[in-house]
Chains A and B, each alone.
Chain A
Amino acid sequence: MSAAERTELQQTARRVLAERAPMGRVRELLDDSLGHDPMLFANLVELGWTGMHLPESAGGSGVAFADTAVVISELGRAVTAGPLVSSAVIAAGALALSSNTEQTALLLPVIVDGSTIATVALAGQGGHCSAAALGPTWRSSAGGGVVIDGEATFVLDAAIADVLVVFARGEAGVVAAVVDRAHPGVSVIPTTTLDQTRRAASVHFDAVEVSASSMLAEPHDGEALLASVVDIGATAMALDSFGIAEIVVERTADYVKQRFQFGRSIGSFQAIKHRLADDVLLVETSRVAVDNAAAAVDLAADPLSTRDRVIAVATAKAYVCDAAVTICGDSLQSHGGIGFTWEHDTHLYFKRAMLNQALFGTSRWHRHRVADEVLPLVRTSSTV
């Protein structure tokens, strides 16, 4: 897609979301038990946005992840609910990268056409997603498959998912498998997060039998697949946060231009102006950081070295998600009392930015990931 086409895609996405998912609709869904608008999702599927970055063999259009990235940022900008990111980007990414071509051929087309919703289940008690911190565990089963136990936390859209892509840890290493949400032994318990524009849940696995044909990764390649999928998830969170950062700076600038105190617009005060200038700087530096991360997780391009991918993604995840939270806090401060109300939209952006910052690896963890790639491994203590 050319730069001009990408700009057009962005404008289309912005217009569609403004029409179909305006702030009023976002607020209606805050109290909805599933927090999901099937009509809206059907619209997004029709527009082809669930498959842009996926191979053509899977019903996708095989274009650069950078195009899907545009849509993800627009979803963040509009604080939109729905499983496009959890299903079509992250879970589909895991399937596309897996060596189990049968599962890929089976599931990707139905994820792209929206008839199946998938999500990844991996984080453990602390919500972390390193190999050592995974929630689910596995042991071998008699039939050549595995048995999964344990609990995965902060599973996005689990309540509306049909299929779970589960990452589990075991003595031999990490495995990944496809599990039906309706499978006996799988139970989903909603988690109420501060951010109510999206839905997460804990997924419990009680001796869930998985057949060999459902395995996406075995101990020899499971950890590499996990890292790739965490990087896709981390990139998606950073892109979502970028969309938030951008609109919050715009809205704050509009507000401080029209809010008058002491006979002048408060934006004319350097205390306000300079803070907003810092926020512009954060947006502009975040923009290049997320573009770089999106290129690094592109399924259509030649894969980067793990080192280069991790540096690009981990940098963007930590930097951009932190930036969005800073920008939201600055915005609240610049709005003063009115920003502190439920009616004002500031809290919707702020809470979503905070959840993005927490999921798919905290900023601290991602900075450590960069350090582990670029520094000699003399680490004697570890902070995860």
Chain B
Amino acid sequence: MSEFERLRGEVREWCTATIPTDWREQQRGADHHQYIEFQRWWRDQLSAAGYFIPHWPRKWGGDEMSLPEQVVLYEELSRGDAPRLGITQVSVFNAAPAIMHAGTDEQKQRYLPAIAGGQIWCQGFSEPNAGSDLGGLQTRAVRDGDHYVVNGQKIWTSMAREAEQCILLARTDPEAPKTKGISFFVMDMRSPGVEVRPIKNLVGDSEFCETFMDDVLIPSENLIGPENGGWNVSQATLGSERAVALIGLAELLRRNGRDFLIDAATEWTMPDGTPALADSGVREAIGGLYGEVEILRLVLTRMVTNLLHHGGAGPEASVVKIYYTELLQRLMKFASELHGPPGQILRAGVPSSGWETHDFARDFIHSYSWTIGGGTNEIMRNIVGEQVLGLDREPRPAGVRP
């Protein structure tokens, strides 16, 4: 038996033993508190099994799991219908890579063990006036002795209420060209002057927040990387492990998206009372979507292979982001329309399930968080056009500096 098969068997067995088969029913309608409690429980299960930070260096408590092994792990977790672990997304996949990449030994020592221990972090990048144009952010950090004084407002800070730390981008040099005057900080969320207000999203959940900073003091030892060098530090957070985690999403789209659609649609009917799956147009559409979900798996596998051989996903990651998110959206849209009026009945949501609540209309609406978040698909298309094809950039209006 190969190493991979052994790991696969091990994870599969663990999923069967650990994941409650009825977790979706249990979590349906859970309030925020119950959701967080469930998430913490799930994080602890993963952690005890060594699946929480499997890709990390042993030095920091990880398992140094190779990319192909991670692929197996994420595939099996998806296959086992594992809940999504949302609360530590930022700490593990955004904060830790930046700190490992640009932090001092002292900073690594200070932050990484806490993250390995399950600490919750949030990300303060976007602002009301700096979304796609993140370089235009206005939150100010002014050096004052051994502190920075921070004033400003962040938005879409998921988990801000639970987070103990925040990775924060703030402007330290207002005179420099946009991205050259930004620094990367770790901000203690319990600092005086930090105020968090939840934002209710369009499906009624409060997954993200606004975070206000009013004369918040950040010790200068919390600056990650050089002053005014924060932009590059933030770019380091799109690590290969995030690309690998996408493998799990592809598997989810197979099982919870496509296969569930096929199961559900066997019960659905057409206006004339015949089975939906007897309809020629429906069959053709499902045949096409089925193949496209296979293509997603193939394109992700190739991306991981490229990561292994060339060390970077590069702009290809943007292609995959567009394809995954829009395929997800097409599939949910199709399912929602086919289901018709019964699909419009409001049922309580299932937190910890991401988009795959199995209520297609809700999941369709929710899918827009994927085409907007993580860099809008329009920005992704700019990246593909400019970095893959080498097309010229859009000229900037006079007076706007890059």
Q: Which of A264, A277, A374 contacts B262 (CB 8 A)?
A: A374
A378 and B275 contact, CB distance less than 8 A: yes
Q: Is B307 in the interface zone, CB < 8 Å from A?
A: no
- Which residues 248-284 in B have Cβ within 8 Å of A in the complex? 262, 266, 274-275, 277-281, 283-284
- A15 interface contact, C-beta 8 A: no
Residue B287, interface by CB 8 Å: yes
Contact assessment for A276 and B286 in the assembled complex, using a CB-CB cutoff below 8 Å: no
Q: Is the CB of B266 within 8 A of A288?
A: no
Closest to A363 in B: B288
User: In the complex, are the beta carbons of B287 and A369 less than 8 A apart?
Assistant: yes
Contacts of B382 in A (CB 8 A): 270, 273-274, 277
- Give the complex CA separation of A285 and B285 in angstroms: 18
**Any A CB within 8 A of the CB of B298:** yes
Which of B158-166, B198-206, B224-232, B384-392 has 4 or more CB atoms under 8 Å from chain A? B384-392
Known: A277-B381, A381-B279. A371 touches B394 (CB 8 A): no
Of the listed stretches A39-47, A77-85, A229-237, A312-320, chain B binds A312-320
Among B291, B299, B386, point to the contact of A315 (Cβ < 8 A): B291
Interface-side segment among B169-177, B315-323, B337-345: B315-323
**Chain B 274-314 interface mask (CB, 8 Å, partner A; 1/0):** 11011111011111101110111011011000000000000
* Chain A minimum-CB-distance residue to B298: A288
Bound-state CA distance A368–B393 (Å) is 42
CB interface residues, A 208-252, toward B, < 8 Å: 249
Q: Across the interface, which residues of A come within 8 angstroms of B277, CB to CB?
A: 375-376, 378
Whether B395 is near chain A, meaning CB under 8 Å from some CB there, is yes
Residues A265 and B288 in contact in the complex (CB < 8 Å), given A288-B295, A292-B298, A381-B279: no
- B378 interface neighbour in A265, A274, A311, A370, Cβ under 8 Å: A274
**A21-70: which have CB < 8 Å to B?**
none
Q: Is A256 part of the binding interface, using a Cβ–Cβ cutoff of 8 Å?
A: yes
CA distance A127 to B203 in the complex (A): 49
- What residues of chain B lie closer than 8 Å to A249, measured between beta carbons? 389
CA distance A367 to B284 in the complex (A): 5
A300 and B292 alpha carbons, distance in the complex (Å): 27
A253-B391 in contact (CB<8A): yes
CB-defined contacts of B274 to chain A, threshold 8 Å = 380
B394 contacts A289, C-beta separation under 8 Å: no
Instruction: Note all chain A residues with C-beta closer than 8 A to B296.
Output: 285
Interface size on A, residues (CB 8 A): 49
B334 to chain A, nearest CB (A): 13
Q: How far is the CB of B387 from chain A (nearest CB, A)?
A: 10
What is the CA–CA distance of A315 and B294 in the complex, to the nearest angstrom?
Answer: 9
Which among B280, B384, B393 is the interface contact of A281 at CB below 8 angstroms?
Answer: B384
Q: Mark A357-384, 1 if CB is under 8 A from B, else 0.
A: 0000000101111111011101111110
- How distant is the Cα of A256 from the Cα of B390 in the complex, in angstroms? 10
A370 and B288 contacting across the interface, CB-CB below 8 Å: yes
Instruction: Please tell me if A344 contacts chain B, counting CB pairs below 8 Å.
Output: no
| Residues of chain A contacted by B290 (CB below 8 angstroms) | 311, 315, 370-371, 374
B316→A367 contact, CB < 8 A: no
Nearest-neighbour CB distance to chain B for A136, whole angstroms, equals: 27
B391 touches A268 (CB 8 A): yes
| CB-contacts of A253-311 with B (<8 A) | 253, 256-257, 264-265, 267-270, 272-274, 276-278, 280-281, 284-285, 287-289, 291-292, 311
Given B278, B283, B292, which contacts A368 in the complex, CB threshold below 8 Å? Answer: B283
Please determine whether B299 and A288 come into contact, CB atoms closer than 8 angstroms.
yes
Known: A273-B386, A280-B319. A375 touches B393 (CB 8 A): no
Kindly identify which residue among A268, A285, A369, A381 contacts B295, using a CB–CB cutoff of 8 Å: A285
Number of A-B contacts (CB under 8 A): 146
Instruction: Write out the residue numbers on chain A whose beta carbons fall within 8 Å of the beta carbon of B389.
Output: 249, 253, 267, 276-277, 280
B291–A267 CB distance below 8 A: no
Q: Which residues of B contact A380 (CB under 8 A)?
A: 274, 278
- Whether the pair A277, B280 counts as a contact (CB closer than 8 A) is no
Give CA–CA (A312, B297) in the complex, Å. Answer: 12
Inter-subunit contact B266/A376 (CB<8 Å): yes
Q: Which of A317-374 contact B (CB under 8 A)?
A: 318-319, 364, 366-372, 374
Contact B323 A273 (CB under 8 A): no
A381–B287 CB distance below 8 A: no
Please pick, from B288, B301, B323, the residue contacting A285 in the complex, using a CB distance under 8 A.
Answer: B323
The smallest beta-carbon distance between A29 and chain B, in angstroms, is 31
- Which residues of chain B are near A285, meaning CB under 8 Å? 295-296, 299, 319, 323
Alpha-carbon gap, A276 to B319, bound state (A): 12
Q: A268-B392, A288-B302 are in contact. Are A371 and B279 (CB under 8 A)?
A: no
Within 8 A of B (CB), among A189-214: none
The one of B284, B292, B381 in contact with A364, judged by C-beta atoms closer than 8 angstroms, is: B284
Are A267 and B391 in touch, CB under 8 angstroms?
yes
Distance A366 CA – B291 CA, assembled complex (angstroms): 10
Residue contact B392 to A281, C-beta cutoff 8 Å? no
Min CB distance B319 to A, Å, is 5
Q: What string of 1s and 0s marks CB contacts (under 8 Å) between B365-398 and chain A?
A: 0000000000000101110111011111111000
Partner of B316, one of A284, A315, A372: A284
Are the CB atoms of A311 and B299 closer together than 8 Å?
no
Residue of B nearest to A292 (CB): B298
**Which residue of chain A has its CB nearest to the CB of B393?**
A268
Residue contact A265 to B392, C-beta cutoff 8 Å: yes
A371 touches B283 (CB 8 A): yes
Residues of B within 8 A of A292 (CB): 294, 298
Distance A367 CA – B283 CA, assembled complex (angstroms): 8
Q: Which residue of A lies closest to B322 (CB)?
A: A281
Give the complex CA separation of A267 and B382 in angstroms: 11
In the assembled complex, the CB of B346 is this many whole angstroms from the nearest CB of chain A, namely: 29
**How far, in whole Å, are A253 and B384 apart by their CA atoms in the complex?**
12
In the complex, how many angstroms separate the beta carbon of A188 from the nearest chain B beta carbon? 34
Apart from the given pairs A270-B378, A280-B389, 7 other A-B contacts in the complex at a CB distance below 8 Å:
A267-B392, A272-B391, A315-B290, A364-B284, A370-B291, A378-B275, A381-B280
Q: Could you write out 26 A-B pairs with CB less than 8 Å apart?
A: A257-B392, A267-B385, A267-B391, A268-B391, A270-B381, A272-B391, A273-B381, A273-B385, A274-B385, A277-B389, A281-B323, A285-B295, A288-B295, A315-B290, A319-B288, A319-B292, A319-B295, A367-B288, A368-B287, A371-B290, A374-B290, A375-B262, A375-B277, A378-B278, A381-B280, A383-B280
* Closest A-B pairs by Cβ, 7 of them: A315-B291, A371-B287, A367-B287, A267-B391, A273-B385, A288-B298, A370-B287
* Chain B residues at the A interface, C-beta cutoff of 8 Å: 262, 266, 274-275, 277-281, 283-288, 290-292, 294-296, 298-299, 301-302, 316, 319, 322-323, 378, 380-382, 384-386, 388-395
